[in-house]
A and B are shown apart, each in its own frame.
Chain A
């Protein structure tokens, strides 16, 4: 069974940093591109970042480029999102999602982890 479990969310002050993790199991993690998607309270889905299976291709939304860094450790079946210079507008539930095929749909999602940026 495919499982994606996010962790690392919490309360952080504006300008602070946080590192999210996503632990994957039930599939060959090293064969799939992975993504982070976020959802602000009461708002829609916003794609954040994507990383290819071997980390050769990395993409970011304009809203986080230069502040967030996506990475992965295929040996540990883990996906990460390093978030720096956090702003109030980064407050959201952050989901990790598996990309079924390159540049395709997201066939599995984690349950999400809440990040709150507030003083």
Chain B
């Protein structure tokens, strides 16, 4: 089965840049979506189709995808960005959606 691997945690100071990776076999050939989840809340879509942002999501959130790694970048990090982040793809070889293992972003 297809596996998406994320670092368990990322720490970043306010105003700096956080980069969250999502590793998968040839993930560059798939469309990757990213979700933010704060404690006790439902996930929120922050990036879809590798690098597009839904309306209402700040431009500080951006994404890229190539080779075996997709990356969510949060620029000028704010305290309110502290949350868990998950990547997701559709694996057409198994007809399954797959979520990454999740990354907890801590703002120092």
Contacts and interface: CB of A to CB of B under 8 A. Distances in A.
A106 B45 contact: yes
A89 B32 CA distance: 28
Interface of B is mostly: strand
B90 A104 contact: yes
B45 A107 contact: yes
B84 to A, nearest CB: 8
For chain B, give the interface size range. 20 to 34
Contact of A103 (B42, B45, B48, B90): B90
A35 interface: yes
A106 B100 CA distance: 14
Contact of B48 (A47, A107, A109): A107
A26 interface: no
A11 interface: no
Interface string A98-119: 0010011111011110000000
Most buried by A among B42, B48, B102: B42
A45 interface: yes
A23 B43 CA distance: 18
Interface of A: 35, 37, 44-47, 50, 59, 61-62, 95, 100, 103-107, 109-112
